Structure 1
Amino acid sequence: MGPVAGSAVGSTSSPTPGSAAAPVPRSGTLLAALGVVAFSLTFPSTVWGLESFGPWSLVAVRSVLAALIAGTFLLVGRVPLPERRHWAGLAVVAGGVVVGFPLLTTLALQTSTTSHAAVVVGLLPLTTAAFAAIRTGRRPSRTFWIAAVSGAVVVLAFTLQQSGGALSTGDLYLFGALLVCAAGYTEGGRLARLMPGWQVIGWALVLCLPLMAAGAAVALAYEPVHLTAHGILGLLWVAAGSTFFGLYVWYRGMAAIGIPRASQLQLAQPLLTLFWSVTVLGERLSPAAPVAAGAVLVCIAVTQRAKS
């Protein structure tokens, strides 16, 4: 795992006089896309994990395991502590991505299906782009916003159609997850331009370790544990795959291609999760899903070509 700081800085440097603007790095797009694939498996893995653990135990234990993995990499690499000015941003990443989003989505998945949760979280790209515009002061083009809003409308319409036109308690958890995760993604993307992306999530995880270790001890004492193969595999994936690897490549990709552009790749995440929900969990897919999938893919193509 090499540092990303150099590539991130390189992607934001001004072109030399008379030269063409640097194209969006394909490697950055690939890394962000790998993050989306990893994230798309989070909900199915969480459902598996809930077979063995209660919601609070699952979230706490996954964070502890991910923090131990991250801490090992930081120690082996002899990575120095972040500068004091970065700790506030790391706290936002920790609160949004490490604690808030996993907890709220896990609570939602107790009553919502994986496919339903996937399309609600499809609003995350637009939410992240809005947070990024406020936080960084950058303003994506009108074409970018039209395509992003169109994608969000498609996702929202699909969600309401599936839920009979009303929002459930699980939906409220999911919408709360959108807000905290968008804040964490935006701050993490900003920090990934200043330090290697894997260190951003690594330090955020380590920052949460004392709290989540205490939470795991309390939750495991109160929630029953019934270990199954699915439950263990689900826990391992959400800890190592989604929380560490997924966020590592995601932040590195955002540093290379920019927060708004990377966030739009996540429009594909609900579609991938729908696929996993059918093939892995055996859920029945709505006939409206292919229509929503095609519309969302068109929006992705437009946003990736729009100047941001």
Structure 2
Amino acid sequence: MSPFSHWLGVPDIRPSLLAADSRKMKLCAATLALCLLSVVLAEDGGLSAPILAWSNRALISEGEQVSYKVFPDVEQVTTDLVLGVLGQAQGSDFGVHGFPEESLSFDESRKVVVFIGSQLDVADMRSRSDAISNLDGIISGAVSSLALPYTISKGGSIIETVCTKLDSAGIKHEVVGCSAPSDIKADAVTALAEGNTVVIVCSHVEDAMKGTNAGLEAEVEQLKAIQAAVVEADVNHVLIYAIEAKPETGLLATGSKRRSLLQESAPTACGPLCQTQVRWLEGMLAVLFLALASCAGLVCLYVLDTPTRFESPNKDAASQQ
């Protein structure tokens, strides 16, 4: 079973009717969420961009929490999550974006580290790769965690959105490793030691590895380094793994991980031949539907065993009466 299966609505198999019903309900919920995700992707042209958050304290409540709602703006949701755990979010922010009604627990001494990645998507979270196993190990060791797997990126900048809000709120923050590759672990330790409340760290993956399992593994290794830096700093913290997905410019190589490729293409007009084929298809579907309906009616009549004729009345008995 996938390490993230409990986040995506796939329960453990138990030999009981109650467990079977629960599995069906959760599977339906996950299916509905995927359908909503597809609709949003089709309408807005966004990309799958999950958000994972975990802490060494109770974030919303202890244990692993997951939301199956579709969030249409990963940039704003990440910003609200950062401000929420610091007690700086507006009351309307969480309601607008579909967060739970209860406020996130916050602490003035809490440090927030935002790790901006680009290689994780919902399909990866259902896999059994080493990278996902490592990521699951990090989150399983936390006191509390929150997963928002169905979040959509419209191609905006998470860093700009978060920094703008932090500047407005007067919260001290620093961006690490986003302008050029560097030793992000050492830089993160330094930024935390300097008293920054929020530290934003960018991952760096070579172009040849992007969109592959190797690229995801490299990104998770960088995340593990940041997690180690936060643990070494020994601070009350929340670590947020947000995905800033970018549209792919070409097809992935054979053997690479599956990824949704939403690329703009030239529209194709339906000519006379196409229209004729469509009409024939419509006619065939109509005939098929009528044939199925007729067969269903005949089967029903056969099952009901309706009489084909009725008994003639007895005229002599009728005259005597």
- Fold-level similarity (TM above 0.5): no
Normalized per residue, the structure richer in strand is 2
User: Of the two structures, which has the highest relative contact order with CA contacts closer than 8 Å and spacing of 6 or more?
Assistant: 1
Normalized per residue, the structure richer in helix is 1
